[in-house]
Amino acid sequence: MKYEFDVIVIGGGHAGCEAAHASARLGASTLLLTSDMNRIAQMSCNPAVGGIAKGQIVREIDALGGMMGIVTDRTAIQFRMLNRSKGPAVWSPRSQNDRTRFSDEWRRVLDSTPGLSIFQDTVTELIFDDESGAVSGVHTTLGCTFKAKKVILTAGTFLNGEMHFGPTRVPGGRISETASYGLSEQLKQRGLEVQRMKTGTPVRIDGRSVDFSLTQPQPGEDAVDAEGKVVERDFHKFSFLPEVRRVLAPRDCHILHTNPETHSILHANLDKSPLYNGQIQSIGPRYCPSIETKIVTFADKESHQLFLEPEGESTEEYYLNGFSSSLPMDVQIDALQTVPALRNVQIYRPGYAIEYDFFDPTQLRHSLESKLVPGLYLAGQVNGTTGYEEAAGQGLMAGINAARAVKGEEPLLLARDEAYIGVLIDDLVIKGVDEPYRMFTSRAEYRILLRQDDADMRLTPKGYEIGLATRERYDAMVEKRTLRDELIALCREVKVTASMANDMLARKGSAQLSGGVRAIDLIVRPGISFADVSEVVPDVKNYASRLKETHPLTALEIIEAAEILIKYEGYIERERQLADKLHRLEHVKLPSDFNYEGVNAISMEARQKLSRMRPETVGQASRIPGVSPADINVLLLLMHR
């Protein structure tokens, strides 16, 4: 039995699993401490991964060598690409997953990771070095003492967690799981600012009590026959590894709606809602509101859309997305029974709200190490975020950087134009949070550069360089890039005559050719796809056919990547130039002991915020709310720029 490690990870959720896996893979002896080994990577809210911007984060995790994408693909029961009607900059993959298999698959991954140990116990106290103040280990409920050079805290909603079922309050970090006490108070004494947040989860419904004839089916993108068997799987997925496939039988989600009668019952019982009677005081998520908040905020709406989402490949348990609530159980049931499809509803458990502690993320470095407690890294909901994907992205980076710090290496930091993970961490560290943080494509100023289709091109070289991404993954990325570029070059060279293309252009409602052009000139036209051009240009069609024969698992992905680069080349280049221009500010370092209070040419607000947050570069300073362009110009002058 080992009691000394390089890195200890506290918490076995999505952040903790990625942190522990990455740390061990990078050669650090790692211990994952979790209160329940049977709930590793538990999907405590909806059984789904991805979505708007979140799907991009999962593809980035995969590109770097993390595991969330692989685990998601192996346990998916539905896959869709959201935002297809818009440009590829905002296309976002999303899947429904088998909740139990997702947890089991993560457990299998962790059990087979060399250098990683797991111990079932709850941490009650951190140990600190008397001289340096750095964290050096932990004490647990069972009386164990584990020592480590670095500690990663990924406690999710467990720190002083309290659940609300109407007026009933139950201590816990998740239903049927105890809360964690002591760590918040201990870190508060060390100067960390502790605040409270609130989140919630909906009722779970027995599908046998639902009249599905009164719902609208929402299938995935796989082609299925009349019996629901897969005829052809859509080529999109989360992992870039060709051999990782989606294999479970697909299941539909179902759409239904609330109505005025539903809202009337909810309105009549708002005084019983912890959100509205003063029982809950903490901050809730703006972008995932409870059903109570919806009927108050959108009082003019007579209906709200709900989604019945299956919890697994064969279970009858459904998650009712859109009906998060902390109202008493009887009120929830009364309201649900007003929805025609749910008039005979039977539930497995009611929805509830949970309050928990989090720490001000502006007290972190971009490596996710605490500025106040050396050696302590924080990731996930303890930093004020919400969502499995945001947590996993932070956990991956904390695990990478803790392991690199053990070896005396510089942290891996991702810029805002390199990854959504970089946007996420920069937003947390520079701007902080005043509500549970959720990633959106609109938060990224360079989202044309941060597409889901090219996350491997952006990040796999970095993952390979630090030793997390395998050689096989890197070689697959290089081969994909080579084939993509060959296809683009072919489209630049091949000539297309008017006689070859005009019939197709007429069918597509596109202007006729009066002379010859190159294939690429047709692909850039709105409404004209690569498939349209390949129909009428033999050289392009032949190349695509050979590609499908030699690379059957990746051909369609390569073709799509080439088409996106062709169509959006001008936009991509313009955004790259803008990003490069602003990058210069990231190279202007600010001294850690700089006396901002002594610079009268900077506004008072800027002086106060710069003194408190201590940005490392002028680029970071420029993103702090309240620091104006004029303040940045003063800093540049003082840095002799």
Read off the DSSP letter of residue 364.
B
Continuous segment of H or E residues that includes residue 609 = helix 604-613
Q: What is the pLDDT of residue 19?
A: 98
Angle made by CA atoms 93, 13, 355, in degrees to the nearest 5 = 100
Q: What's the CA gap between 39 and 41, in Å, rounded?
A: 6
Q: What is the secondary structure of 207-269 as a DSSP string?
A: GGG--GGGSEEE--SSEE-TTS-EEE--S--S---TT----SPP--EEEEE--HHHHHHHHHT
Lowest-confidence pick of 323-337, 369-383, 624-638: 624-638
Closest CA to 256 of 352, 335, 349, 311: 335
Q: Please state, rounded to an integer, the average pLDDT across all residues of the chain.
A: 95
What is the band of 232 on the pLDDT scale with cuts at 50, 70, 90? confident
Q: What is the pLDDT of residue 70?
A: 98
Q: For the chain, what percentages of helix, strand and coil (3-state, to nearest 5) are there?
A: 40, 20, 40
Place of tokens 């896959």: 79
Q: What is the pLDDT of residue 612?
A: 87
Burial of 588 (0-12, 13-18, 19+ CB in 10 A): middle
Is pLDDT at 225 greater than 90 in this prediction?
no
Q: Which of left, alpha, beta for 197 (phi over 0: left; psi -120 to 50: alpha)? A: beta
CB 151 within 8 A of CB 137: yes
- Please name the CATH architecture into which domain 202-355 falls: Beta Barrel (2.40)
Lowest-confidence pick of 17-31, 49-63, 279-293, 480-494: 279-293
At 75, is the secondary structure helix, strand, or coil? Answer: coil
Structure-block tokens of residue 497? 């005559």
Q: What's the CA gap between 491 and 522, in Å, rounded?
A: 9
**Domain 471-573 annotated CATH 1.10.10.10:** no
Angle between helices 14-25 and 99-111 (to 10 degrees): 20
Helices and strands in the chain: count of H runs, count of E runs: 21, 23
pLDDT in tens, 253-302: 999 999 999 999 999 999 999 989 999 988 888 878 899 999 999 999 99
Q: Where are the alpha helices (DSSP H) in 75-225?
A: 99-111, 183-189
- How confident is the model over 389-401, as a mean pLDDT? 98
Q: What's the CA gap between 215 and 318, in Å, rounded?
A: 14
What is the band of 164 on the pLDDT scale with cuts at 50, 70, 90? very high
Is pLDDT at 459 greater than 90 in this prediction?
yes
Structure-block tokens of residue 79? 């896959």
pLDDT in tens, 505-517: 999 999 999 999 9
What is the band of 581 on the pLDDT scale with cuts at 50, 70, 90? confident
CB 49 within 8 A of CB 225: no
- How confident is the model over 587-616, as a mean pLDDT? 90
Is pLDDT at 489 greater than 80 in this prediction?
yes
Closest CA to 323 of 365, 293, 367: 293
Q: What is the pLDDT of residue 557?
A: 96
Q: Where are the domains of the chain?
A: 202-355, 471-573, 588-638
Pairing of strands 4-10, 376-378: unpaired
What is the band of 175 on the pLDDT scale with cuts at 50, 70, 90? confident
Q: What is the secondary structure of 321-361 as a DSSP string?
A: EEEE--S-HHHHHHHHTTSGGGTT--EEE--EEEEEEEE-G
State the distance between the two ends of the chain, measured CA to CA, in whole angstroms: 56
31 C-beta neighbours (distance < 10 Å), count: 25
Which sign does the torsion angle of CA 367, 373, 374, 379 carry? negative
Rounded to a whole number, what is the largest CA-CA distance in the chain? 83
CB 238 within 8 A of CB 49: yes
- How confident is the model over 387-411, as a mean pLDDT? 98
Pairing of strands 145-153, 4-10: parallel
Continuous segment of H or E residues that includes residue 397 = helix 388-406
Q: What is the secondary structure of 292-317 as a DSSP string?
A: HHHHHHTTT-S--EEEEEESSSS--E
Is pLDDT at 413 greater than 80 in this prediction?
yes
The dihedrals phi and psi of 47, each to the nearest 5 degrees, come to -85, 60
100 C-beta neighbours (distance < 10 Å), count: 18
- How confident is the model over 10-33, as a mean pLDDT? 98
Q: Give, in words, the CATH class of 588-638.
A: mainly alpha
Is pLDDT at 641 greater than 80 in this prediction?
no
Q: What is the pLDDT of residue 176?
A: 85
pLDDT in tens, 301-357: 999 999 999 999 999 999 999 999 999 999 999 999 999 999 999 999 999 999 999
Buried b (16+ CB within 10 A) or exposed e, 117-151: bbbebbbbebebeeeeebbbbbbbeeeeebebbbb
Q: What is the pLDDT of residue 269?
A: 96
Q: Tell which wins on pLDDT, 608 or 455.
A: 455
What is the band of 185 on the pLDDT scale with cuts at 50, 70, 90? very high
Lowest-confidence pick of 347-361, 415-429, 585-599: 585-599
Q: What is the pLDDT of residue 477?
A: 97
What is the band of 100 on the pLDDT scale with cuts at 50, 70, 90? very high
641 C-beta neighbours (distance < 10 Å), count: 12
In sequence order, the 6+-apart residues with CB closer than 8 A to the CB of 419 are 60, 450, 455, 458, 459
Cα 365 vs. chain centroid, distance in angstroms? Answer: 20
The dihedrals phi and psi of 59, each to the nearest 5 degrees, come to -65, -35
Q: What's the CA gap between 590 and 212, in Å, rounded?
A: 61
